[in-house]
Each structure stands twice: as C-alpha cells, then as structure tokens.
Amino acid sequence: MADNNTIARPYANAVFELAKAAGELASWSTALDIAGQLLADKGLVEYLGRPALGSKKRFEFLTGLFAEAGAKVLAGSDREGSNFLRLLLENKRIAVLPEIAAHFAVLKARVENTVDATVTSAAPMSQGQKDQIAAALKKRLGRDVKVTSNVDASLIGGAVIRAGDVVIDGSLRARLEGLANALIK
C-alpha cells in the first residue's frame, strides 16, 4: 500500500493549480492548514471512518467543523472546496489531508520564493539573532526566509538549522559526537 505522502501529492498538485489559477493561494493555504491540523487527530479520522456514518453526514460534519475552525474554502460555501472535500471523502482519502496541506505549503513557498526555517537552539534566541540567521540564509538560498525557533537543551550549545532540504548542524552535541568518532578511529 502506498504511503500517505505518495497518495497526497497528486491531490496537493491539483488543488494548488486550482488555487493558483483562481488567485486564491492564501485562502486555500489557510483552509488546508486548519483542516490538516484537525485531521491529524486520529480520533477524528476514526470517527469519520465509522460505517454507520453516511457520506452526506461525513460531508456535513466536516463542513461544519471547518466553518467553525475558520477553514472557509472547505466550509461548504465554495464550490471548488466542496468538490475537493467530496472527492476526498468518496475516495476514502480524508485521512491524508495533513499531508496534502504539507505538500501544498511546499508548492506555495516555491512559487512565492520563500522558505520556512526552523532553528533549534540550546537556549532561547533573541529577535536579533533570528534576523541574522534569516539574512544569512536568504543570502545562501536566494529566497525569503521565515525563521521559527525551538529550544532543545540536549544540544548543550549552538544550534541546528533546517530550511527546506538544507540542514546545518552547528550544535555542540554534534561537535562532541564528531570528536568521539574521530578518537575511536
């Protein structure tokens, strides 16, 4: 059986082309993010998979949930959004919405020439440090960079930067592991 990313990719590509042609990348992105977060809950997916719940009830439940959560495109009032949701339900692909949202975000970032970077550091970072990292990554990658940060005390010192396919590990933990490996050889 194919994994969820393989299944999600064509759906994400199709909805991305639809949103791009309509000039609605931002609204689709927001709706897919919200829907993906909601459907990452395994309990919700199990509920939707119950045989006693008919297709119409599933659709009504999801459109109501999405409307309440702010996913306007998927809330039932948008024809393309409704058709997309029905297609996922008919093909029993609703559980891959989190992966569809992730693929859509990558496609949107590529078109907008942006990249999200996550900086994991041993201690909290100041805004100035985040700005310096963003500027250096922009110079290196040639794209606008949005930096988010996390704290992981197990790094001991330094940071690990992930921006798209680029990973820069400047943590003290990685340096110590490298030193240990060199001593073993």
Q: Which domains does the chain have, with CATH numbers?
A: 4-109 (1.10.520.20), 114-184 (no CATH)
Does residue 154 sit in helix, strand or coil?
helix
Would you say 8 and 99 are in contact if contact means Cβ atoms under 8 Å apart? yes
Q: Kindly report, residue by residue over 60-86, the tens digit of the pLDDT.
A: 999 999 999 888 898 888 899 999 999
Q: Kindly report, residue by residue over 87-113, the tens digit of the pLDDT.
A: 999 999 999 999 999 999 989 988 999
Would you say 150 and 159 are in contact if contact means Cβ atoms under 8 Å apart? no
**Tokens linked to 85:** 């949701």
pLDDT reported for residue 2:
66
Q: Which residue carries 């977060």 as its tokens?
A: 37
Q: Kindly report, residue by residue over 4-57, the tens digit of the pLDDT.
A: 889 999 999 999 999 999 999 999 999 999 999 999 999 999 999 898 888 899
What CA–CA distance (Å, rounded) separates 164 from 117? 7
Q: List phi, psi (to 5°) of 100.
A: -60, -45
What CA–CA distance (Å, rounded) separates 108 from 31? 13
Would you say 141 and 114 are in contact if contact means Cβ atoms under 8 Å apart? no
Would you say 45 and 39 are in contact if contact means Cβ atoms under 8 Å apart? yes
Q: Which residue carries 């100041």 as its tokens?
A: 126
User: Mean pLDDT over residues 108-133, rounded?
Assistant: 92
What CA–CA distance (Å, rounded) separates 172 from 122? 9
- What is the helix (H) or strand (E) element at residue 119, kind and residue range? strand 114-121
